Copies of this chain bind each other. A is one copy, B any other.
């Protein structure tokens, strides 16, 4: 909302960067909007508009230079220095997410995990140190953490979010199956497993209904 770029746009830009990285790995030096669009499941005009938003210009003949565009997206999307993230709720899902990010993005690292269970405190899981909830504010401030991931169960999610926000976090990814009530200045991306599966099942069923009707 502040700088006029929507969350959807940011999502697509994040995707373009990864697609461009695979192109670069294949030795491709330039790409056209329709090529990126086909890979990203977007339209060429959308790609052009998104790339304009990151402040990069392509050429009518060569299209977009892969190397330079990746760099431009980095300048647009990344913080100047590597960014530290927190995770709250060291269950199965929390551990899976820590593992997923362990060796992935060098400029986006989950550095601290928190849990109510004292048995988990003090361990290092997937390169990430585990703390009790009472240390949250101190660790978040000390590490300069501004974003967090909530993998706590439904009952603990609101409390986890409140503590993170109180400590200064302004961006959250919420995997708990409950919506969070937070100030509008805090960005929340909801990743609701139950909803996503119910959606898929609903539309899968309708797909079949459609076929039957079409007969």
Chain A: residues with CB nearer than 8 A to chain B? 2-3, 7, 10-11, 14-15, 18, 39-41, 77, 79, 83, 85, 91-93, 95-97, 99-101, 104-105, 108, 146-149, 169-173, 177-179, 181, 185-189, 191-210
Contacts and interface: CB of A to CB of B under 8 A. Distances in A.
Contact of A198 (B3, B14, B95, B177): B14
Given A85-B201, A208-B146, A99 B104 contact: no
A193 B97 contact: yes
A177 B147 contact: no
8 contacts: A2-B209, A15-B179, A83-B205, A92-B95, A96-B96, A100-B193, A171-B207, A187-B203
A196 B14 CA distance: 9
A177 B84 CA distance: 21
A189 B201 CA distance: 11
Contact of A170 (B108, B181, B189, B204): B204
B3 A194 contact: no
A170 B207 CA distance: 7
Contacts of A11: 192, 195, 199
Nearest to A146: B204
A204 B140 CA distance: 14
A85 B181 CA distance: 32
Contact of A147 (B79, B171, B186, B197): B197
Nearest to A172: B200
A198 B83 CA distance: 10
B179 A41 contact: yes
A196 B177 CA distance: 16
Given A92-B100, A146-B208, A194-B14, A77 B108 contact: no
